[in-house]
Structure 1
Amino acid sequence: MRVLITYGSKRGGTEEIARWLAQALREEGLDAEAAAPQDVGDISGYDAVIVGGSLYANRWHRDARRFVHRHARKLRERPTWFFSSGPLDASAADGDLPPTSQVRALMEQVRASGHMSFGGRLEADARGFLARSMAREHAGDWRDMAQIRCWAASLAEALALSGDVGPATRESEPHLPF
């Protein structure tokens, strides 16, 4: 089963999460690859898609939003999950953080099967006025590799349970609670 993980990432932290997810899914026996949205032309060759975006002021990265809008019809035809990265504290690893209202609306648009929030990363020497001022008190890396691996394992299990779901059967497939 081929899985695409694509992401909107401003400072590289969300891109790294996407790459870690791809590696974890490969370790689970899936053919997974991470690619920037602008490098993805057609998603027809993928059996499942994971879209991730960094959060800035509760807004998902523009590249992730644009990817969802551009591929909405085909995303509805295959298992799709979303992830967000951004909390600059341990809250994402401590419990399930719900998607922002903007992400939830995108999920409904494509009938996504689920969402996961991961902690973010902000370098102490971040550039830009807002990032620099936030870094004074919130610099650090809150991405949790164990949480990422656990989510990847649950996705692999969900995909194995659903079988090789193609566009013809996606409409009747129940949404999975991951």
Structure 2
Amino acid sequence: MRDKVLAYGTTNGSTARIAESVAEVLRARGLAAEALPARSVPDLAPYEAVLVGGGLYAGRWHKDARRFVRRHRGALAQRPVWFFSSGPLDATAAERDIQPVPGVKRAMASLGVREHVTFGGCLAEGAEGRMARMIVRNGKGGDFRDFTAIETWAAAVAEELCGASSK
């Protein structure tokens, strides 16, 4: 069994925690999986499937997630790939399906990405960046991640991966 990798781009750690939760679910279902910062993945040869997550900032995926997809475009096109985004600092991600931002949508189409999902984000006291600190100071921060939804999505991905490897 070859590994699965969850590559993520994050500034304050919220997306990393989502990726780690997804990896935990995959491992609990007998799959080898690791969550790594997108900039630290030099090669996709060891991985049979890839999940890429990015925090949303001003309508764009985190730069590390964008760069990862550009750098590994050829390898991603040859593997099953899923995308996730994190970022809405309100309950909208739990209330409805949020479409991917335009850059993510284009990458999905060109790579044949299996699925994209958006989860709520988290912005807490001590966040890095002037805008992030201002958002928290104005009372607009908080933790809107729904770990039940995250784990449910991860279980569905695991089911698809298990079905693919038994064929």
Please indicate, yes or no, whether the TM-score normalized by the shorter chain is above 0.5: yes
Question: Displacement of 1:39 after TM fit?
Answer: 1.6
Give the aligned length: 165
Q: Provide the residue aligned with 2:86 in structure 1.
A: 85
Q: Say whether the 8 Å CA contact 1:72–1:109 is kept in structure 2.
A: no
Matched, 1:24 2:25: yes
Gap runs ≥5 in structure 2: none
Tell me how far apart the structure 2 counterparts of residues 29 and 38 of structure 1 sit (CA, whole Å).
Answer: 26
SS of residue paired to 1:10: coil
Q: Provide the residue aligned with 1:51 in structure 2.
A: 52
Matched, 1:157 2:159: yes
Q: Provide the residue aligned with 1:126 in structure 2.
A: 127
Q: Provide the residue aligned with 2:5 in structure 1.
A: 4
Tell me how far apart the structure 1 counterparts of residues 149 and 5 of structure 2 sit (CA, whole Å).
Answer: 19
Q: Provide the residue aligned with 1:139 in structure 2.
A: 141
Query: What's the Cα RMSD here?
Result: 1.4
Tell me how far apart the structure 2 counterparts of residues 127 and 101 of structure 1 sit (CA, whole Å).
Answer: 25
SS of residue paired to 2:34: strand
Question: After superposition, what is the alpha-carbon deviation per residue over 1:86-141, rounded to whole angstroms, capped at 9, x for unaligned?
Answer: 00011112222111111101112211111010110011343433112211231110
Of stretches 128-137 and 95-104 in structure 1, the one that deviates more from structure 2 is 128-137
**Which residue identity lines up with residue 147 of structure 1 in the other structure?**
A
Matched, 1:108 2:114: no
SS of residue paired to 1:47: strand
Change (3 A) 1:164 1:68: farther
**Which residue identity lines up with residue 132 of structure 2 in the other structure?**
A
Q: Say whether the 8 Å CA contact 2:11–2:128 is kept in structure 1.
A: no
What percent identity do the matched residue pairs reach?
46
TM-score (norm 1): 0.88
Q: Provide the residue aligned with 1:174 in structure 2.
A: none
